Amino acid sequence: MQVKEIIIIGGGLAGLIAANLLGKAGKQVLVIEKKTYPFHRVCGEYISNEVREFLMQEGLFPNEFDLGDIHTFQLTSTKGKSVSMPLDMGGFGISRFALDAFLYQKAKNIGVDFLLQTQVEEVFFDQDAMKFILTLGDGRQLVCNHLIGAYGKRSKVDKFLERDFMSQRSPFIGVKYHIKTDFDHHTVALHNFEGGYCGINRVEDGIFNLCYLGSKEQLRSAGSIQQMEIDFLWQNPFLKHIWQHSEFLFEKPEVINEINFSSKKPVENHMLMVGDAAGLITPLCGNGMAIAIHTGKLAAEALIKFSRRNEIEQFYNFQWNTHFRKRLWVGRNIQRLFGAKGVSEFSVGLIKRSPFLATQIMKRTHGEMV
Residue nearer to ligand FAD on the CB measure, 195 or 288: 288
Residues 6+ apart with CB under 8 A from 81: 345, 348, 349
Q: Write down the least CB distance from residue 327 to ligand FAD, Å.
A: 12
Pairing of strands 131-136, 196-202: unpaired
Q: Write down the least CB distance from residue 307 to ligand FAD, Å.
A: 26
Q: Cα(11)–Cα(31) distance, rounded to whole angstroms?
A: 6
Q: Please tell me whether residue 67 adopts helix, strand or coil conformation.
A: coil
Alpha-helical (H) ranges within 113-183 are 156-161
Binding residues for ligand FAD restricted to 167-186, rule: CB under 6 A: 174
Which residue in 289, 211, 191 sits closest to 254, CA to CA? 211
Is residue 95 close enough to count as binding ligand FAD by CB under 6 A? Answer: no
Binding residues for ligand FAD restricted to 287-306, rule: CB under 6 A: 287-290, 292
Stretch touching ligand FAD by CB under 6 A, among 21-29, 49-57, 71-79, 271-279: 271-279
Is residue 319 close enough to count as binding ligand FAD by CB under 6 A? Answer: no
Measuring CA to CA, how many Å separate 7 from each of 123, 149, 281?
A: 11, 9, 25
Q: Write down the least CB distance from residue 328 to ligand FAD, Å.
A: 11
- Specify the DSSP class assigned to residue 192: E
Amino acid identity of residue 348, one-letter, is V
Q: Write down the least CB distance from residue 14 to ligand FAD, Å.
A: 4
Pairing of strands 254-257, 247-248: unpaired
Show the site string, 235-264: x = touches ligand FAD by CB under 6 A, - = not: ------------------------x-----
Amino acid identity of residue 283, one-letter, is P
**From 6, 7, 8, 9, residue interacting with ligand FAD (rule: CB under 6 A):** 9
Q: Write down the least CB distance from residue 34 to ligand FAD, Å.
A: 4
- Angle, helices 343-353 vs 355-364, to 10°: value is 110
Q: How many residues bind ligand FAD (CB under 6 A)?
A: 41
Measuring CA to CA, how many Å separate 217 from each of 198, 214, 221?
A: 17, 9, 6
Q: How far apart are the first and last CA of the chain?
A: 38
Q: Write down the least CB distance from residue 49 to ligand FAD, Å.
A: 11
Q: Write down the least CB distance from residue 128 to ligand FAD, Å.
A: 25
Is residue 267 close enough to count as binding ligand FAD by CB under 6 A? Answer: no
**From 155, 215, 218, 236, residue interacting with ligand FAD (rule: CB under 6 A):** 155
Show the site string, 116-135: x = touches ligand FAD by CB under 6 A, - = not: ---xx---------------
Q: Write down the least CB distance from residue 45 to ligand FAD, Å.
A: 6
Question: Do residues 200 and 189 make contact, with C-beta atoms less than 8 angstroms apart?
Answer: yes
**From 33, 204, 229, 268, residue interacting with ligand FAD (rule: CB under 6 A):** 33
Residue nearer to ligand FAD on the CB measure, 174 or 253: 174
Is residue 214 close enough to count as binding ligand FAD by CB under 6 A? Answer: no
Q: Please tell me whether residue 365 adopts helix, strand or coil conformation.
A: coil
Residue nearer to ligand FAD on the CB measure, 47 or 358: 47
Q: Cα(342)–Cα(15) distance, rounded to whole angstroms?
A: 39
Is residue 328 close enough to count as binding ligand FAD by CB under 6 A? Answer: no
The enclosing H or E element of 30 equals: strand 29-32
Residue 148 sits at φ, ψ, to 5 deg, of: -110, 130
Q: Write down the least CB distance from residue 42 to ligand FAD, Å.
A: 5
Positions that interact with ligand FAD (CB under 6 A): 9-15, 32-35, 42-47, 119-120, 150-152, 155-157, 174, 199, 211, 213, 259, 275-277, 280, 283, 286-290, 292
